[in-house]
């Protein structure tokens, strides 16, 4: 059985690449819902419907474990899928998200003091998922959530060179606050990590899920032997999208250093 990785577009490829590097032996299936991106402007009901359909597709591809790399889907759909959908339809399989592992990593350093800034999609910010989960982990830390709706379209269309102006607009609150770290709360944003760091300054830590999720997944598998033993180890990787795009292919080639074959699917 395989590990599935799902995202609303190409952002999850950044996470996938990091996971492949950390855990190269396993078989993977990647699915990007490029037809309906971005999820950040959609309702909770829409995001759940789309995410559930993606999960069903990946389970049909023989995935034992699915990583929902999309922060918006993790915020708006993951809990319902875990509590209602899986027990009824696939009780022996698992679906994991990215929000809680990210917060666990960023709050583990006791030396950190000040405020956390979460840069995310409008839907993720509206859900306040980062604020709610942070209250459970470290209630004394203050969190600021900032929606950055212009970034995903720029990244999906391979227009990273146009991102500096909107980034400066989204980060204009930095001088007014004691920000010690910025959480890149969308899997697309690591592609802009260097530019964000340049604008924020060396004193601000940039928290990228590419540096967190692969290690969290490795730890999860080490603690869940029953799931780990079900996973095949053929180093096979399949990539699916719901709509083809030359921009998508160009960004994927830049990420992996080679052309990636995407199979277009409807489900």
Give me the catalytic one of 3, 67, 70, 154.
70
Tokens, residue 114: 């000040």
Q: What is the pLDDT of residue 197?
A: 97
Tokens, residue 252: 């994927």
- Backbone φ and ψ of 255, nearest 5°: -70, -50
As to burial, measured by CB atoms within 10 angstroms (0-12 exposed, 13-18 middle, 19+ buried), residue 228 is middle
Tokens, residue 224: 């869940």
pTM of the model: 0.91
Note down pLDDT in tens along the chain; length 267 residues. 999 999 998 889 999 999 999 999 999 999 999 999 889 889 999 999 999 999 999 999 999 999 999 999 999 999 999 999 999 999 999 999 999 999 998 887 665 668 999 999 999 999 999 999 999 988 888 999 999 999 999 988 888 899 999 999 999 999 999 999 999 999 899 999 999 999 999 999 999 999 999 999 999 999 999 999 999 999 999 999 999 887 778 888 888 999 899 999 998
Give SS3 for 112.
coil
Q: What domains lie within the chain, and their CATH numbers?
A: 2-97+212-264 (3.40.50.1860), 100-209 (3.40.50.1860)
Q: What is the pLDDT of residue 9?
A: 85
Q: How many CB atoms lie within 10 A of CB 186?
A: 29
Q: What is the pLDDT of residue 84?
A: 97
pLDDT digits (tens, 9 = 90+) for 9-26: 888 999 999 999 999 999
pLDDT digits (tens, 9 = 90+) for 69-128: 999 999 999 999 999 999 999 999 999 999 999 999 888 766 566 899 999 999 999 999
As to burial, measured by CB atoms within 10 angstroms (0-12 exposed, 13-18 middle, 19+ buried), residue 6 is buried
Q: What is the pLDDT of residue 245?
A: 80
Q: Is 70 a residue of the active site?
A: yes
Give me the catalytic one of 186, 196, 212, 251.
186
As a whole number of angstroms, the distance between CA 150 and CA 65 comes to 32
Q: What b/e string do you get for 86-102 counting C-beta neighbours within 10 Å, with b at 16 or more? A: beeebeebebbbbbbbb
Q: Is 63 a residue of the active site?
A: no
Closest to 121 (Cα-Cα) out of 139, 103, 146: 146
């Amino acid at each position: 059985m395989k590990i599935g990785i799902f995202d609303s577009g190409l952002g999850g490829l950044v996470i996938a690449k990091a996971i492949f590097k950390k855990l190269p032996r396993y078989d993977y299936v990647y699915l990007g819902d490029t037809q309906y991106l971005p999820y950040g402007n959609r309702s909770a009901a829409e995001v759940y419907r789309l995410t559930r359909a993606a999960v069903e597709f990946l389970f049909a591809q023989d995935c034992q474990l699915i990583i929902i790399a999309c922060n918006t889907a993790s915020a708006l759909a993951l809990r319902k899928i875990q509590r209602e959908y899986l027990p009824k339809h696939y009780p022996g399989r698992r679906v994991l998200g990215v929000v809680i592992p990210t917060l666990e990593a960023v709050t583990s350093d006791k030396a950190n003091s000040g405020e956390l800034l979460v840069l995310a999609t409008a839907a993720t910010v509206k859900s306040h998922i980062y604020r709610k989960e942070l209250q459970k982990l470290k209630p004394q830390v203050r969190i600021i959530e900032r929606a950055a709706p212009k970034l995903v379209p720029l990244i999906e269309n391979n227009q990273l060179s146009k991102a500096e102006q909107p980034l400066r607009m989204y980060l204009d609150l930095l001088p007014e606050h004691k920000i010690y770290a910025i959480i890149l709360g969308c899997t697309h944003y690591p592609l802009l990590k260097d530019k964000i760091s340049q604008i924020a300054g060396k004193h601000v830590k940039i928290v990228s899920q590419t540096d967190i999720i692969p290690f969290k997944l490795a730890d999860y598998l080490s603690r869940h032997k029953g799931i780990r033993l079900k996973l095949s180890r053929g180093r096979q990787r399949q990539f699916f999208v719901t709509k083809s795009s030359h921009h998508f292919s160009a960004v994927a080639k830049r990420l992996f250093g080679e052309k990636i074959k995407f199979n277009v699917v409807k489900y």
